[in-house]
């Protein structure tokens, strides 16, 4: 997700987290470090990643979601392969009663990713935006699910051996 510097500045002013001279210092730091302003202000602790993502979500009119990663069913998570989830920073975190798949993306403006996901999952998709950190935590569930399954297989084999 690439948030415009203008939106970052508006958010800082709105939350009153920065004075005009501090904003100029942040812009100078952005130039010196060759990092986007959004990364500079998050690193400085002036705005959280969640606040920034929520503001971006409002601007682009995509609903924001904070995923509870422990509640994602394994079968839902596996609707897309882990490598695709990592490549596009996207995760399926639920399915509505009508079969609509709920996707959380870091960058819902990524037309290529959406097109690919529609081919893989069908057209019944509802797209949300979530923080990169939250999506990566959800993606980490692929590995936890695998390790718990390996543990279950090993336990079952040990029981049979006795």
How do residues 106-150 score in pLDDT, each as one tens digit? Answer: 989 889 999 999 998 988 899 999 999 999 999 998 886 554 455
Residue 161 has pLDDT above 60, yes or no: no
Per-residue model confidence (pLDDT) at position 65: 95
How many residues appear in the chain?
162
d(CA 37, CA 34): 9
Of the pLDDT bands very low, low, confident and very high (cuts 50, 70, 90), residue 162 is low
Side-chain half-sphere of 52: how many Cα atoms within 13 Å? 28
Express each pLDDT in 11-23 by its tens digit.
777 776 677 778 8
Q: At what angle do helices 5-14 and 49-60 cross, to 10 degrees?
A: 110
Q: What is the pTM of this model?
A: 0.76
Express each pLDDT in 58-71 by its tens digit.
888 999 999 998 89
A 10 A CB-CB count for 97 gives: 5
Of the pLDDT bands very low, low, confident and very high (cuts 50, 70, 90), residue 157 is low
d(CA 89, CA 103): 10
Express each pLDDT in 76-104 by its tens digit.
999 999 999 999 999 999 999 998 999 99
Per-residue model confidence (pLDDT) at position 153: 54
| Mean predicted lDDT score pLDDT of the chain | 83
Phi, psi of 41 (to 5 degrees): -70, -35
d(CA 105, CA 83): 14
């Amino acid at each position: 997700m690439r948030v415009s510097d203008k939106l970052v500045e508006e958010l800082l002013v709105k939350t009153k987290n920065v004075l005009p001279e501090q904003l100029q210092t942040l812009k100078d730091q952005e130039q010196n470090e060759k990092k986007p302003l959004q990364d500079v202000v998050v690193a400085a602790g002036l705005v959280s990643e969640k606040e920034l993502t929520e503001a971006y979500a409002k601007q682009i009119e995509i609903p924001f979601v904070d995923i509870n990663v422990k509640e994602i069913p394994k079968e839902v998570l596996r609707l897309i392969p882990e490598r695709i989830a990592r490549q596009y920073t996207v995760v399926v975190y639920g399915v509505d009663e009508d079969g609509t798949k709920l996707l959380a993306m870091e960058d819902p403006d990524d037309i290529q990713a959406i097109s690919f996901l529609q081919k893989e999952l069908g057209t019944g998709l509802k797209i949300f935006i979530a923080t990169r950190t939250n999506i990566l935590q959800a993606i980490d569930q692929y590995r936890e699910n695998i390790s718990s399954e390996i543990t279950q297989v090993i336990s079952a084999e040990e029981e049979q051996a006795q």
